[in-house]
Chain A
């Protein structure tokens, strides 16, 4: 008869890795942002202790290669030491972001911690009260990509104990994610595992419930596309059933919010309205980073200028660094209904028509931007413009021209 076990399933800690898409943060907020992943990790440790779990699974990407600081390593180790003090074990595998970390930093952990060392599937027994009750299977990345279908390499042959598979990877598709130990849902059916602890995808998702195949997501969102609550799963396994419960750990929540019922007729009213709305969002349990989408009344929207919005953004954020539960508006997007009959304009032989034609004909807009794109520093450290971004910019450029050139009225 199997005894019951309880463990935490977490992945993608990305300890101390920086946020993407943040700028001009005031000191205090910047500090919160910097510490958020570490804070979330500390909460995880506290949760493990509070819930008296048997062990914790860290399924890959504990760090980021590029931004591993001693601080992150020390924090990780301290947490593991703490688990050890409470007799909790830890099982770690490295993913595509933290492979080969051992070369850079000292990754000797306390003896309660087991690390999957290579791309070969390895199995650690978990003993409770001197009796083996579970086996944890897994592997670690040794290079940036693992193209092999690792799922096929697992071998669960001990039905007398709980069999848990850990896998840092993603569903096979035709996108570039395929380089991360790809699998298909059917692959799991061939195995007798009682639980599949996945990692790599930052969005929380339960792929299956029998057995549970779960992406816990990361423990702290780091950009606007990692919105909502982030955390880990506490898993209770009995011989007859498995129960999972999500626990949020994040310090800061990313969110995109849309305001489509604005009644503002001018920038002052809008400012007032946004201040009010922002206050209503303030929450004692979380800090927020919000991307705001405004749908303004048409008459007003057409008069709004970029600098005004920039100013508004600055104004909205101005006092936030004094707040404990701050709400930081990361950006404001607003739709401009700039209506003109593009086709008609283009068909005329006028200059504007020619301009529109030129824009349409431009397949390679980057050629106009080479002086910046070729800057050595920019090239190396700033992501190049994607096609979407370029299209967006083309549209905006077109608007700038059209708006200026077809201004009505007598000259």
Chain B
């Protein structure tokens, strides 16, 4: 490919600029900032495009455009590559011979070219060298080596990173990488699984052992049971040894006592029964006899004590007498009490009557109902008279006082009255004054009349004033009217006017007269008034009138008083007559009183007014005195009876040895009577009891009779001659029975333990020593077995626990699940590792192939280039695939590693490599080689070497060299030189501005 023309339509600072390029070497010169890099980027952009960020840096500030064309020759055909940011979506458009090509053809055009390759091989700048220099010395070789392979150090970077990543995951003999860790974890788990598996597999055998153990256990337990039973039997026998032996011995004993079999078995009980009956009989008999004796003596005592036979009267009579006497005593007491009360009453009356008579004396007073009535009348009359007299006296005094008072009043009234003359005077005065008063009233009326007349006069005067001028006017008018009418000749109208006129004249005359009259009247009135003005005042008149009225009243009053006084004096006279009558009656009454006092002297001590009550008292006292008399008579009779009874009682008491007794005689007698009665009853009872006891005694004898008979029979049955023999036999029999009982007890004891085996056990003649020995041996054996069983039980528990633990533990299960997870992790990590590893391997493999296929040729060219660049100082370049580095040999045959070379020499080696690479790749890709100020740091000689090499290369390969050094070391080089000056000056017509 050869670029012929760059059309920078809009790119960076460039606008519509064209750069013509030649075949071979092109040197584009320009100072810094003249746009060299823009041109280089333009080429990249048009051919391959640029990333957005980079692209935007070059958008023209003039028109916001980006784009242009490159005209080039490729495979001997003319091509134009065009790219504009805003056309064809920023894609390159290709023209061949002016014709736009298809996409496939475009693809064909780009065969073997890409931006990456362009950047890494065909584009070269000073920065690349700088990058190399920044590498560590030992890496430089590696980088150069890789560069030699691919033209880029990215491979080595990737390779390293892949290797590192893989290494982080797994290393063949590492410990830390993740997979190594996981694998060892897996190993651990596997180991554990084996262990636990072995444990779990032991589960089976454990169960088997457990089964065996349980069988063994059951055998031992069986034996233990048998032994325990045997021991229990032996122990039972041993514990019943005494009982068994006793039973056997008693059985032996009883065999020899056969006679007893005929002995009535109830003999003893019957004997005992008889004995007890006998005893009971005797006891009862004795008891009865004793009681009879006691009753007999009691009877005698009682008979001795009784005095009843000596009583003067029968007991009942005496008892009646005693009751009567007690009643009498009581009656007497009551009588006394009544008497006392009557006397008290009597005395009270006496006191009341003011007398000191005994009852008898009172009875003897000769008073009766008539007497009572008489006394009552007298008292009443006396009271009446006294009362009337007192009344008279009071009235008389009242009237006398009234007369006195009236007389006083009359005197004072008379004194107040004026003498007759004075009064007449006053009356005259009064009349005079009254006349005056009426005159003044008339005058007042006159005044008012005058006023009225005056106003009337005024009104008339006014009317006349008006009339003085109205009259002539009216008259005139009327006259005129008259004349008019007259002349018109209407007769009736003339008449009317004449009448009206006449009326008017008359009216006027009347009015004038009235007015004249009134004036006259007024004048008259004024005269009247002036006369009345000289009269007295009314006050004086009033006083005089009052005084006169008073005098009239006083005289009226005096008349009344005189009348009253007359009446009062008459009353006093009447009273004196009445008093005289009353005094007469009083004298007669006193005469009668004195007569009564003569008959009943005690009356003298009493006011007559009390006589009726005195009579009452005496009558009541008389009644009580009678009562007293009766009571005393009754008392005397009863006392006589009581005394009689007392004598009889005394005679009875004398029969007994009576001690001083506080009780009344009647109670004592009553007491004796009661006792005598009781004694009688007791004696009767004792008598009955005795009879009964004797009968019972008989009965007792009768009841005991059969027992006695039976006893006799019993003696006969037991062949006992007497009671002593009988008792002996009984004892013998008793002993026999006891043995029998003991034997039965022993049997019962054994039976409780052995039940139905008992008879057999008792029949057997046991060897007790052997039994004890057996028991000892068996016990020992039992102990042994117990131990064994315990041991087995422990073992069983242990096994069960072990099995249970295994069953519940689940450790193996856990481990297997863990293992599964771990395996999965290893699998995934392995995959990850394997991917890195594969990538790494492929990279490495390709590199190896490169080494063998391309590298020899490249190394040859590199050697040549390096030789030229170093002025034949170094003659050969070789690579070492083992250490992945490049070694160089100088002309003296000495080998150096890259790290040993000077920086400049290493740069030269790098350039030599790049040039060799570009040459190697040129065949297929044929891109131009762009160098951007690549050798600024080279000295003159090196630059010359450099340019000669480039010149040589440019014969086959278009080279575009950008530099800021206008004419230094390259001036000898045959090249198309393009100056990028500020003026954009055209040189050799190669650079021109597009228009």
Contacts and interface: CB of A to CB of B under 8 A. Distances in A.
Interface of A: 16-25, 30, 33-34, 66-67, 69-72, 74, 104-106, 344, 347-351, 354-355, 357-359, 362, 365, 368-369, 371-372, 375, 377-378, 381-383, 385, 389, 393-394, 396-398, 400-401, 404-411
A24 B154 CA distance: 36
A266 to B, nearest CB: 19
Contacts of A377: 183, 186-187, 190
Nearest to B811: A69
B207 A67 contact: no
Contact of A381 (B117, B152, B186, B808): B186
Contacts of B54: 409-410
Contact of B155 (A17, A20, A351): A351
Nearest to A19: B820
A93 to B, nearest CB: 22
Contacts of B812: 69-71
Interface residues of B, number: 72
Contacts of B115: 408
A351 B112 CA distance: 11
6 contacts: A24-B821, A348-B112, A385-B831, A400-B835, A405-B152, A410-B54
A17 to B, nearest CB: 8
A18 B820 contact: yes
Contacts of B150: 350-351
A396 B838 CA distance: 9
Q: Report, nearest first, the 4 A-B pairs whose CB atoms are least far apart.
A: A18-B820, A397-B839, A69-B813, A368-B841
B831 A34 contact: no
A357 to B, nearest CB: 8
B843 A401 contact: yes
B198 to A, nearest CB: 12
B813 A16 contact: yes
Interface stretch (B227-235, B449-457, B777-785, B822-830): B822-830
Contacts of B819: 18, 381
Most chain A CB within 10 A, of B112, B157, B813, B835, is at: B813
A352 B629 CA distance: 188
A378 B826 contact: yes
A23 B828 contact: yes
A17 B838 CA distance: 34
B735 to A, nearest CB: 74
Given A23-B825, A74-B807, A397 B838 contact: yes
Contact of B838 (A24, A33, A369): A369
Interface stretch (B539-547, B672-680, B844-852): B844-852
Contacts of B841: 368
A106 B149 contact: no
Contact of B111 (A19, A348, A396): A348
A365 B823 CA distance: 22
A385 B834 contact: yes
Given A22-B821, A378-B826, A354 B849 contact: yes
A118 to B, nearest CB: 21
Nearest to B117: A350
A47 B186 CA distance: 39
Nearest to A72: B813
B924 to A, nearest CB: 5
A382 B823 contact: yes
Contacts of B114: 348, 350, 406
Interface of B: 51, 54, 107, 111-112, 114-117, 119-120, 128, 131, 149-150, 152, 154-155, 157-158, 161-162, 170, 172, 179, 183, 186-187, 190, 200-201, 203-204, 207, 806-810, 812-814, 816-817, 819-828, 830-831, 833-839, 841-843, 845-846, 849-850, 921, 924
Given A70-B807, A382-B823, A104 B207 contact: no
A408 B921 CA distance: 20
B818 to A, nearest CB: 8
B128 A411 contact: yes
Contacts of A16: 813, 816
B807 A400 contact: no
B838 A365 contact: yes
A351 B816 contact: no
A378 B839 CA distance: 22
Contact of A70 (B111, B157, B200, B825): B200
Nearest to A330: B824
A372 B172 CA distance: 7
B813 A393 contact: no
B850 A351 contact: yes
A372 B207 contact: no
B830 A23 contact: no
A105 B843 CA distance: 54
B862 to A, nearest CB: 17
Most chain A CB within 10 A, of B149, B154, B827, B849, is at: B827
A202 B367 CA distance: 164
A349 B921 contact: yes
A382 B827 CA distance: 6
B824 to A, nearest CB: 5
A358 B847 CA distance: 10
A105 to B, nearest CB: 7
Most chain B CB within 10 A, of A66, A354, A398, is at: A354
Nearest to B120: A411
A359 B849 CA distance: 13
A78 to B, nearest CB: 10
B81 to A, nearest CB: 18
A24 B825 contact: yes
Contacts of B823: 381-382
